[in-house]
Structure 1
């Protein structure tokens, strides 16, 4: 293959991956929006999308709309199953729900967002839930602040300084100093709080999950209606912390106890 052909092939591959990532981020996207978001011409977009549809990576979702196809979903599930996190967490997540009677989540960091990868729904009639694969902003979620709290201070500060601190509710943290203060507080006590910062009336308590090098690989949380969480907060915090530490220990973390940021 000539160098020009190789360069063109690499460019097509990159655009195909960009398309898959964009469709995954919006869950169901229109072709016109895809072209605008990625700066692709209609002819290039239709050509690459056509190839991805033929291979099963994309499929139609209504007229002129796309969603991930079965082959992309299958690859994603195989990747998740290969991570130790997904081998040791499910039983502990179910036990956490049994203790708190509220919905529990596990999310991993993807760029400036936390992606929900596991969920165990609580038994309450009124409950909180999120679609697997959906995302929550780092600055406006307990999961995000818990993840940031387990990073070295310079790294957390660099990430926070680059965030778009969108205001979702009146309690959203929209300044760098306020967000960093919340992250430091979470590091000191071992857990983070989302007090209706993205969804009104919802309170979330979250803790980081650490690997053998004490790096955060995920965060785990319990969420529910604000008043109900407040009524049982001490017990829920204890359960969330215990669960996060148990999972971290099974991932090889030598000391999963909270440690102030250094």
Structure 2
């Protein structure tokens, strides 16, 4: 048996092979396992007990030890004095160099493209600009245009799902200062006209982690949005998807799948845009 075969084949008592590993062809399994380990460590997982690591990421103990040794040799991991490992400087500088070479909006568009591919819906990146949301990016699927919203559009914040997701993370006083006196502006019959109604909506949005809109701004168009938060919980931007109800769907499973894609995209953007001056400035204006 060759060394490569030994690395792929599980040993006695090993964790079961990952279904994704087994179900795909042409993929380099050791690389996929290394990435699983790196994600585990990046999420705060400890490598002090390699058997526990193996169970958590679905890789046998011996392979975990080999991965750690190899990644440490390459400077991708470095040992901690108290045991375990953290991401090494070689890995961090590689990531920093890659991000520094990209425009923040170009990086953000890659997330929007992924979300659109996953959901089949148009995706948008917005920031709070005074009492309005400003649409910075729009990624659309290969379908007839169904919305009047474009990159550059500005809409009163509380009338849209992304606007609500941003307002939900501001204080009550800040929201009232931005939106002004009652009655609040309305776009459709679903629009909140009072602060009591809006505050109830925003509480639900904050508790669920995303804001849903049905005919909230454009008739026949449903939307889902999640805030992109900085390390202090301030809203930097919002990621949203929108489309006709026939595509968005009305069943619980479809909507949960859409919400997961939006929340995952927002979490990725929170990391990618954390040091983007334009977004920090927009958050301050909000």
Q: How many Å apart are 1:157 and its aligned residue? A: 4.7
Task: Select 2:214's aligned residue among 195, 205, 224.
Answer: 195
Task: Select 1:206's aligned residue among 225, 232, 238.
Answer: 225
Superposed, 1:10-89 pairs within 5 Å as 85-89=104-108
TM-score normalized by structure 2?
0.55
Moved over 4 A (4+): 82-85, 160-164
Task: Select 1:159's aligned residue among 170, 178, 189.
Answer: 178
Change (3 A) 1:83 1:219: farther
Task: Select 2:126's aligned residue among 100, 103, 107.
Answer: 107
Q: Which residue of 1 aligns with 2:263?
A: 241
Kindly indicate whether the alpha-carbon contact (under 8 Å) linking 2:128 and 2:237 is maintained by their aligned counterparts in 1. yes
Q: How many Å apart are 1:144 and its aligned residue? A: 0.6
1:130 aligned counterpart, secondary structure: coil
Kindly indicate whether the alpha-carbon contact (under 8 Å) linking 1:203 and 1:224 is maintained by their aligned counterparts in 2. yes
Kindly indicate whether the alpha-carbon contact (under 8 Å) linking 2:126 and 2:136 is maintained by their aligned counterparts in 1. yes
Q: How many Å apart are 1:171 and its aligned residue? A: 1.3
Would you say how many aligned residue pairs link Structure 1 and Structure 2? 173
Task: Select 1:168's aligned residue among 176, 184, 187.
Answer: 187
Change (3 A) 1:129 1:121: farther
Kindly indicate whether the alpha-carbon contact (under 8 Å) linking 1:121 and 1:129 is maintained by their aligned counterparts in 2. no
What is the rounded CA distance, in whole Å, between the counterparts of 1:139 and 1:226 in structure 2? 21
In the alignment, structure 1 segments of 5+ residues that lack a partner are: 1-81, 254-262
TM-score normalized by structure 1?
0.60
Superposed, 1:106-125 pairs within 5 Å as 106-125=125-144
What is the rounded CA distance, in whole Å, between the counterparts of 1:85 and 1:217 in structure 2? 13
What is the rounded CA distance, in whole Å, between the counterparts of 1:177 and 1:84 in structure 2? 40
In the alignment, structure 2 segments of 5+ residues that lack a partner are: 1-100, 276-286
Q: Which residue of 2 aligns with 1:143?
A: 162
Kindly indicate whether the alpha-carbon contact (under 8 Å) linking 2:215 and 2:221 is maintained by their aligned counterparts in 1. yes
What is the rounded CA distance, in whole Å, between the counterparts of 1:164 and 1:89 in structure 2? 36
Superposed, 1:178-193 pairs within 5 Å as 178-193=197-212
Change (3 A) 1:146 1:153: same
